[in-house]
Amino acid sequence: MSEPIRILFVNSQTFPYSAESDIAIAGRFLPQGIQESGKEIRTFMPRYGNINERRNQLHEVIRLSGMNIVIDDVDRPLIIKVASISSARMQVYFIDNEDYFHRKAVYSDAEGNFFGDNDERAIFFARGVLETVKKLRWKPDIVHCQGWITHVLPLYLKKAYHADPIFSDSKVVISLYDDSDFSLDENIRQKIKFENISNQDLDVMASPDGINLAKLAIRYADGIIKAAPQIPEEISRYVTERNLPLLESKPISKDDNAYIQDYNVFYEQILSSDVSKKG
């Protein structure tokens, strides 16, 4: 009997740990539906400071915590926490760090100003997920990224972690939303550099903003899902230029799982194709 397909969901938000939104609903109900269809799943998100750990019964996984991640020459400890959604028979892993994820807002301050270190938070989250999956010794067939804070991960997986046997055969799928209207720190390219990543790999980030961060993710993806009715035109054009397998997703709902079949077919299409865009 063959092994089940393994899908790693890397979500920017997951309901009920995040406020109800298209991305948070997808982060909650898509993994459940895929698991119930016979695939094996793991799911990750950041441990934002507005998550009530006691109410949601988060606890630290000591065996997975303890390493440091260096960004811009500063070491920061990686803490892994986990909680269970019992009705879905699903665990959620949380990437935590006091400097990056203990503030009470998600991406912006009370005045609506985008946090100046959001670039570092995305870098820390991406590397934290990949390092934790290595420790779990769980080999994903597909890594499915949802939301802008996941958009550094495809580059790392394809360039810095590609030789690791845990990730050597992994395909990357990205769900695109209308969440790219922001600017990032001008030094983001230098901060992202790690292992085999070069200036050429990051040339699309010459102007550091959400549009180009999405392009960076698309460059290292194997398949794209348009998960929102409105995607910025510049991003849509870039998807067309890359000629990647594309799914125009039905809305993901907590009450109707008709979309699950479309996702399963798309995952299988990605795994059976020879598409491998590495820039």
Please determine, for residue 11, whether its predicted confidence score (pLDDT) is greater than 70: yes
Q: Residues 167-219: pLDDT tens digits? A: 999 999 999 999 999 999 999 999 999 888 999 999 999 999 999 999 999 99
pLDDT tier, 273 (very low <50, low <70, confident <90, very high otherwise) = confident
What is the rounded average pLDDT of the residues 122-138?
97
Residues 6+ apart with CB under 8 A from 243: none
Separation of alpha carbons 35 and 51, rounded Å: 25
Q: Where are the alpha helices (DSSP H) in the chain?
A: 22-36, 53-56, 98-101, 118-136, 153-155, 188-192, 210-219, 233-242, 260-272
pLDDT tier, 1 (very low <50, low <70, confident <90, very high otherwise) = low
| The predicted structure's pLDDT at residue 141 | 97
Separation of alpha carbons 133 and 257, rounded Å: 28
- Residue owning tokens 């050429």: 200
What is the rounded average pLDDT of the residues 126-146?
97
Chain-centroid distance, C-alpha 59: 21
Question: Residue 262: CA atoms inside 13 Å, Cβ hemisphere, count?
Answer: 16
3-state secondary structure of 118: helix
> Dmax over Cα atoms in the chain, in whole Å?
56
Q: Residues 222-266: pLDDT tens digits? A: 999 999 988 999 999 999 999 999 999 877 877 778 889 999 999
Percent of the chain with pLDDT over 90: 84
DSSP secondary-structure letter at 178? S
Q: Residues 19-62: pLDDT tens digits? A: 999 999 999 999 999 999 999 999 999 999 999 999 999 999 99
| The predicted structure's pLDDT at residue 190 | 94
pLDDT tier, 276 (very low <50, low <70, confident <90, very high otherwise) = very low
Q: Are 252 and 226 in contact, with CB atoms under 8 Å apart? A: no
pLDDT tier, 274 (very low <50, low <70, confident <90, very high otherwise) = low
Chain-centroid distance, C-alpha 56: 21
Whether the CA torsion 104, 105, 107, 111 is positive or negative: it is negative
